[in-house]
Homo-oligomer: A and B are copies of this chain.
Amino acid sequence: MPDLSTRQLRAFIALADQRSFTKAAAACHLSQPAFSALIRTMEQSLGTRLFDRDTRSVQLSAEGRLFETSARQLLGDFCLAISDLGDHVERRKGRVHVAALPSLAAGWLPAIFAEFRKTWPGIDLNLSDLLSDPCIDLVRSNKADFALAATGTSQAGLDVQLLCSDRFFLVCRKDHPLASEKALTLKKLVPYPFIHMSRNSSVRQALDAALRPLQTNTFLEVDQLATVTGMVEAGLGISVVPALTLFHFERKALVTRSLPIPNLTRKIYVVRRQEGSLSVAAKALHDLIVLRMKG
A contact residues vs B (CB 8 Å cutoff): 1-7, 46-49, 52, 57, 59, 61-63, 66-67, 70-71, 73-74, 77-86, 88-89, 275-280, 282
Contact = CB atoms under 8 A, between A and B. Distances in A.
Given A4-B5, A5-B6, A63-B85, 5 more contacts: A46-B89, A62-B280, A66-B84, A74-B74, A74-B78
A67 B47 contact: no
Contacts of A67: 81, 85
A37 B76 CA distance: 27
A48 B4 contact: no
Given A4-B6, A276-B61, A277-B61, A81 B70 contact: yes
A272 to B, nearest CB: 12
Contacts of A84: 66, 70
A164 to B, nearest CB: 26
A46 B80 CA distance: 13
Contacts of A70: 77, 80-81, 84-85
Nearest to A78: B74
B2 A280 contact: no
Contact of A85 (B66, B73, B81, B88): B66
Given A2-B82, A82-B1, A275 B52 contact: yes
A89 B47 contact: yes
A66 B86 CA distance: 11
16 contacts: A1-B83, A2-B82, A3-B7, A46-B82, A46-B85, A47-B89, A48-B88, A48-B280, A52-B276, A52-B277, A61-B276, A62-B276, A63-B280, A66-B88, A70-B80, A73-B81
Nearest to A75: B1
Contacts of A66: 84-85, 88
A81 B74 contact: yes
A4 B160 CA distance: 38
A2 to B, nearest CB: 6
Contacts of A88: 48, 63, 66
Contacts of A49: 277
A133 B220 CA distance: 101
Nearest to A69: B81
Contacts of A59: 275-276
A233 B177 CA distance: 130
A118 to B, nearest CB: 23
A251 to B, nearest CB: 42
A82 B45 CA distance: 10
Nearest to A279: B62
